[in-house]
Amino acid sequence: MKNSEWSGSYFPNFAMEGIQSLYFTSNRPLHTIHEHVPVLLAVSSGAGSLQREQETYELSQGTSVLLPPGAKAVVTAGPGQPLHIYMLTISTQAQARATHEGSMSRVSMIGSAKNVEYFIDAPAIAARLEELFIHRLPESETRHMRNQIVFHQVLLALLERMESGDSFSDLPSMERSLAYMEGHFNEKITTELLSEMAGVSRSHYSILFKQMTGFSPNEYLSKLRVHRAKELIIGSTLSLRDIALKVGYKDEFYLSRRFKHQTGESPSSYSRSRNVQRAAVWFAPYASHLFLLGVEPSIVISESSEYVRADGLLTPQTVRFIHMDTPPEQIKAALQEENVDLIIAAKQHLRETGLTAEQLRSVAPIIEVPWMGLGWKEHLRMIAHAIRKSEIAERWLADFEQQERRARETVQEQKVVDETVTIVVIKPERLQIYGARNAGYVLYHSLGLQPSAKIAQEIEHFGDEFHSVSIARSELKEYEGNWFLVMVFPDEKGATAHAERIFASEEWQGLSAVKQNRVHVLDQEEWIPYNPVSVRLQLERALKLWAGNQ
């Protein structure tokens, strides 16, 4: 084919140039983006805006924005709530096989875009960028290859959306119209539009809609808007007029009428009282926060029905535990049966159960509390603010911080303050070095002990977001401290043979800390939970460990 008049034409290859986690708060509300390559932004949680030249794009959970090469944009967090965005930079290069004479490089929509591409309903893109960020330093070639697959899944989703503009093409007709309503409730929506989208007559659509949801289209839309208004009342400082406009009502007076009709109280009364009677939480640590604040959740969606037991903490009486593996339609039905009036969850935990905030907003307002994006103190403060228990939370935190100071003063008298401590977690499937969360919070923050140099760099860079890093046995030496704290997770049968293999290995036996018998093996159940009560108990254990045995 070398002498043929025909020559192939090829699209460029894509590569992931870099991925970042951008977190915006009231202290860091702005970020300027100006890259020479295409940039994909995906909102993991929160709300804000993106300004490019004279154009402004609203950012909310599930929103994705593709910036063309060279575009300069400013991202701003919304008032009163943190904004978490993943930023992926994408590079392009011609295929090697396309460089021979006569070949032609074809233009890519992603690589040559001139305008901003804006996708309102793209939670899957945000989920995949989160996965890429978590595994940005793959521990194996298999994970590296999976990253490549996930990256190209993101590109494929972008190209399909750019070509078709239809974000609901893979849903059945009625579900497609429902998803549209859930994602666009703040816009003008008519039954005519929805029935046309579903491909049925208007009268038949209303019948089918009520069969599917239990509500008429107007009732369902009202729930979405009023529940979103509650979220904004709780989590922002917007005026009632601004809230009305954001949820799709023409003014604050109409919002007030719909609000009172649905809830029996006015928005201002709700703002003052926020009387939460039946809360649902995703993930057990958030349930512990509620118990600490004197509130028993109605439903806890978690991997287990375990809970923290400690003096002064409520004991569950009527909590309904639902396993996270339960089908999403059953979880949603249970929430409706329990008539919950508030849902507290991190987006990643909702996603693990196959649900989104948009799908659940018809049940109750949702307070999104980022799991990895914030530390446990901020978790407590956000949850306390949502249910008007901030005074209780701040009193508890003040007492705990005094306890921290006393413990730190005691430990400062020990020789360990001049040494480094490494936390090793041995699981059946991987070996991890822990960072600033779980036991790492107590050791490195509360007591002021020093991590090994490599972990210190990660903590300085990522702060509370740095949970752990997976390593190979051969890397243990790179993370070695003067002391090792070791926690072993048993396998599903309760065996710990995998840990014994680590302990017997040349890599482990060759460590200086091991040779000097500077290793403490800890009970993982006592040192892993990440909630206020567990952290306080870990502080007490850590004080005994370092002040009592040195």
**pLDDT for 446-486, tens place per residue?**
999 999 999 998 888 887 778 889 999 999 999 999 999 99
**pLDDT the model gives residue 521:** 93
Q: Is 321 exposed, middle or buried (0-12, 13-18, 19+ CB in 10 A)?
A: middle
Give the pLDDT band of residue 104 (cuts 50, 70, 90).
low
Which range (81-90, 112-121, 248-257, 444-453) has the least confidence? 112-121
CA dist 295 and 383 (Å) reads 11
Model confidence over 351-384: pLDDT tens digits? 888 899 999 999 999 999 999 888 999 999 999 9
Side-chain half-sphere of 319: how many Cα atoms within 13 Å?
Answer: 27
Whole-angstrom distance, CA of residue 63 vs CA of residue 73: 16
Query: Which H helix or E strand runs over 84?
Result: strand 83-93
* Stretch among 77-81, 326-330, 490-494, 532-536 having the lowest mean pLDDT: 77-81
Q: Using one digit for the tens of pLDDT, what is the confidence trace for 162-216?
A: 766 443 433 467 888 898 899 899 999 999 999 988 888 888 888 889 888 889 9
β-bridge pairing 519-522 and 468-471: unpaired
Cβ atoms 372, 349 nearer than 8 A:
no
**Chain centroid to CA 484:** 30
- Does domain 9-164 match CATH 2.60.120.280? yes
Domains 173-273 and 409-548 share a fold: no
* Phi/psi at 214 (5° precision): 90, 0
Ramachandran category for residue 80: left, alpha or beta (phi over 0 → left; psi -120 to 50 → alpha): left
Closest of 523, 527, 525, 550 to residue 538, by C-alpha: 527
Whole-number pLDDT of residue 98 = 45
Residue range 409-548, CATH number: 3.40.50.1980
Q: Say yes or no: domain 173-273 is CATH 1.10.10.60.
A: yes
The sign of the torsion formed by the CA atoms of 526, 529, 530, 533 equals negative
pLDDT band at 96 (very low <50, low <70, confident <90, very high): low
pLDDT in tens, 300-350: 998 876 667 776 676 777 888 888 888 888 899 889 989 999 999 999 899
Taking a C-beta distance cutoff of 8 angstroms, is the pair 280, 364 a contact? yes
Confidence of residue 549 (pLDDT cuts 50, 70, 90): low
Give the residue extent of every domain in the chain: 9-164, 173-273, 279-388, 409-548
Residue with tokens 């922002």: 236
Beta-bridge partner residues of 431: 426, 471
**Among the CATH numbers 3.40.50.620, 3.30.365.10, 3.40.50.1980, 3.40.50.300, which is that of 279-388?**
3.40.50.1980
Decide: 270 and 259 in contact? Cβ < 8 Å: yes
Helix (H, G, I), strand (E, B) or coil at 387: coil
